[in-house]
Amino acid sequence: MGSLAVVVFFLCCCYTAGENEPIQTFVIPHSHMDVGWVYTIQESMHAYAANVYTSVTEELSKAADRRFIAVEQEFFRLWWDAVATDSHKKQVRQLVKEGRLEFIIGGQVMHDEAVTDLDDEILQMTEGHGFLYETFGVRPQFSWHVDPFGASATTPVLFALAGFNAHLISRIDYDLKDTMQKNKKLQFVWRGSPSLKEKQQIFTHTMDQFSYCSPSHLPFSNSSGFYWSGVALFPDPPKNGVYPNMSLPVTKETIQAYAKTMVDNIKQRAAWFRTNHVLWPWGCDKQFYNSSVQFNNMDPLMKYINQNSKVFGVTVQYATLSEYFKAIHQANLVWEPRGNEDFLPYSTEPHQAWTGFYASRNVLKGVARQASSQLHAAETLFTLYRVRFPDGPVTKDWALGKLRALRWAVSEVIGVYQPLEQHIIIYNPLAWNTTTIVNVTVSFANAAVFDDDGQPVPAQIQMSAQSNVSYDLFIVVELGGLQHRKYLIKSSEKNCSGRKCGWIYEAKRVLFERRHIWASMKRGRRLLPVISECYRLMFDQDTNLLHSITYLQEQRRVLVTQDFWEYRANGDTKAGPISDNYVFSANGSAVRAYEAVEMEVIPGKIVTEIRQRFYRRESDKDYTYSITTRVPEYFGSRLRCHRLEQTYSLGPLQLNTEVILRTSSSLRSNRTLYTDDNGFQMMKRRYRKFSNNTIARNYFPMVRAAYIEDELSRLVLVSDRAHGVSSQANGQLEVMLHRRLWNDLPWNLGYNLTLNDSSVVRPTLWMMLGSIGVTSRLFQREAIELQHRPVIMPIDQPQRPWREKEPRESSAVPSVVLPPNLHLLSLSIPGWNYSSDHDVHLSHINSGQDLHSEPDFDRVLLRIMHLFEEGEDPELSKPVTINLKDALQGIGEVKELEERSLTGTWDITRLQRWNWKTAEDFKTNNNSCSSGGDEAFTVTISPKEIRTFFVHFVSRNFWASPSSVKTDDH
């Protein structure tokens, strides 16, 4: 071992606080308020949340030493806008200025870290930060991520990009936390991204085994411990102010017992950390709604401890989180670095693996992702409209109000038949050119499609997979980045002929009889090929299951089958571990979920569709599960053929059933799985054996993507919503798609968390198979393309009968196209009205002027993300230098560009985060735009970087009066 390593080891392991130094305790008052959990936001505001901020504001103003941290900004914002009086607002401004009321994290919510998408994490934090900065001039610099069920490695990266100096987590695997406590390794410097490494490292504090709540059990009082205000009541707070489980007040008779309990707990915690500073969280879920009771009991208790500090060996003080972290930082220790490993999955005990919620409420997860995608499209469209038509007819305040409402809804979590002739607009919300197939549901079996120049568009029509009275119309569309085009759909009850029918193909289905899974022991004798430009798929007619896939570029065949299996759950707490909304506890290995499979194939010129229907019993009339696989067949354009688009139908399930899609292959993957952390980066998941609950503890969250691989090939799945995923056997990838559960645990029954979900769900996965090199270049983009598919908007019916047009030059709007390894993460008008100069903004706030100014409609928020990791691809992993003025000219002429922090509140040139010492003491500089000439618009984006800018465009108005616009010939 080198001499430097010896010194570092000594510093890390042998530091102890002075024996005569009292333990310095930072008592941090807080209230954890889940936004939208069980109760609605409105119910929570009425029952307790509004009272938290009213009473805390009043109580902090009574004593200069009191403190409080505000975490979830959704409740604070609602209180500020609708409840707070002018007097309250004046008090809050003073408390914030003095640092006694501190905003932590600053997002709308404390987001989940396992199944939340990168886009939504950034959105909710950006909205909260914008409100806080515009209103108070403050920028949160610390996190308090105490309640997510596991901790991802992406979250600390995002917090570092937002300007945070330290990160705090709590819920990690119980046995890992125990080991870290014993070895005093609950604090470390986290390098969450293998590409960004020390550039975005952040000091991280892991809460000890007592988590974020004060110790609750007191032998001389009741179970609520240091919560003298009791437990919040729904739906209405009690009129007399008396709540259940109010602890004994602090009196002469009880103060010594309270002090001993508190001091003993402080000393127990101090033994697990390297300095003599102890973070002592005071609060828990839904606390401090009657904070006068809280402070009036804690004040004398703390005074008593401090008066006897020499006896106790402890001092206590009210503190904010920043005061605690400043003390740790000033200790000037050398900290152990941690790589990009995350803390997933999360278990609280051997049979309590919190991996079930990865797949719970599949419909809601789909709606949330769809809402996020629609918001992204709406943001980019509104931005394009504002830059090109600043004086257009759409009321800008109305539009921004609608967007803000959707931003908040997405932060919290939330098929149309066409008439005979219908105009639709199809919009590509990505900054890449795309040629793809969109599906429109129509009510007639005959249809033709024409573009806005009157030219026929390739299309295919067939009976819908979901209904016997509707039809799927597949349309081939070619769109530039951020480009939309108008199309005309002409439906008819009769067959048509000639050019007026356009380029339409009517696909007919071929039905294969239902096969019992055990009817034939001989398999692979009669194989049905389905061939595209990329793949040869073989289906076994003896089982009606997929048999193999050959990727034609390298002529390598991989045996692949897909079918459905079920885990059977226990619902009786007396019979052993149970599964519930959060927890997955398998009651044995999975069992096959069907007896027979039926198949039909619909060969087409645009797409070939294979429909497999799985029957629980061979004699059942209706199927329980299905797989619809769409294989692109169109060779006339740049249509991507690498993806096999699969949609599933699942349910209704039997009670206490958890269903998986099992994809089994001949890949020698050694049960090693790769899944994404929040859509940002891929994590390697090695299979581990445990003494209990091995199946559940080898499940991981899949937000956008998962894959298995061997030396030659990789099998990838990308998803339209979050799921749980595992590799329980060599070459196997199983995705938990749906759950229906009921159990008799009182806590679950009381909060309706048993998940008796009888819905039918229809998630989508895209599958890719190929060499590691080929799939590495593809799957990040494919995951984003699945998330942000072209948006189809019906707009009107033609006012006059359609007639053919002569071909003319394209009337498409300009496109915006980024290099293939860069993704336009955000393009929006946030509406904040604050100066980009921090000193000017603070001067405005401190002037006492009316701060309710008009939104700024000229400031555009732009984020660009490099999709690839360092070394992932020989070309696409290289840093990209791009001139943003040139890249954005399809939107308008850029006149000003300034780089900001992730949420926009910091000028990147003024952002200096704390430096935390590690064995490898790096000092890094932030990249920023050059200033002057064309270089002012040229930036270099390195692997996995997310760079954020404010953009101002030259004001031009392309809007013309209706009388000067040429009427549409349709």
Question: Residues with catalytic annotation?
Answer: 147
Q: Are 739 and 365 in contact (CB under 8 A)?
A: no
Alpha-carbon dihedral 774, 769, 644, 700, rounded to 10 degrees: -100
Calpha distance 906→8 (Å, rounded): 34
3-state secondary structure of 449: strand
DSSP annotation of 757: -
Residue 404 burial class via C-beta count within 10 angstroms: exposed 0-12, middle 13-18, buried 19 and up: middle
Q: Alpha helices of 100-173 — where are they, by DSSP H? A: 118-136, 154-161
In the chain, the N- to C-terminal Cα span, in Å, equals 80
Strand, helix or coil at 296? helix
State how far the Cα of 66 lies from the Cα of 295, in Å rounded to an integer.
8
- Alpha-carbon distance 899 to 862, whole Å? 9
Of the candidates 78, 45, 130, 186, the one whose C-alpha atom is nearest the C-alpha of residue 834 is: 130
Q: Which amino acid belongs to residue 198?
A: E
Nearest residue to 187 via CA among 165, 208, 209 = 208
What are the residues whose beta carbons fall under 8 Å from the beta carbon of 889, sequence distance 6 or more? 814
Helix (H) or strand (E) segment spanning residue 87: helix 86-98
| Helix 362-388 with 772-787: angle, nearest 10 deg | 80
Tokens 């979920």 -> residue: 593
CA-closest candidate to residue 77, choices 135, 162, 28: 135
Distance of CA 491 to the CA centre of its chain: 40
Six-digit token string for 7:
């010194």
**Among all chains, which residue has been given the structure tokens 């979250």?**
155
Is residue 780 within 8 Å of residue 868, measured between CB atoms?
A: yes
Q: Alpha carbon of 709 to those of 435, 648, 782: distances in Å?
A: 28, 24, 18
As a whole number of angstroms, the distance between CA 350 and CA 697 comes to 9
Distance CA 816, CA 359 (A): 36
Let me know if 813 is exposed, middle or buried by CB neighbors in 10 A (0-12, 13-18, 19+). Answer: middle
For tokens 């013309």, the residue is 960
Q: Give the number of other CB atoms < 10 A from CB of residue 183.
A: 11
Place of tokens 């009205």: 833
Calculate the CA 384 to chain-centre distance: 25
Tell me which amino acid residue 213 is. C
Which CA distances in Å does 634 have to 439, 472, 609, 630? 15, 16, 13, 12
Query: 735 is written with which tokens?
Result: 């995705």
Contact at 8 Å (CB) between 115 and 148? no
Name the DSSP letter for residue 468.
S
Question: Rounded to whole angstroms, how far apart are CA atoms 49 and 158?
Answer: 28
Q: Which of 476, 770, 507, 788 is nearest to 639 (CA)?
A: 476
Cα 679 from Cα 154, distance rounded (Å):
9
- AA identity, residue 619: S
Q: What is the rounded (10 degree) CA torsion for 601, 605, 607, 613?
A: -10
> Rounded to whole angstroms, how far apart are CA atoms 397 and 371?
21
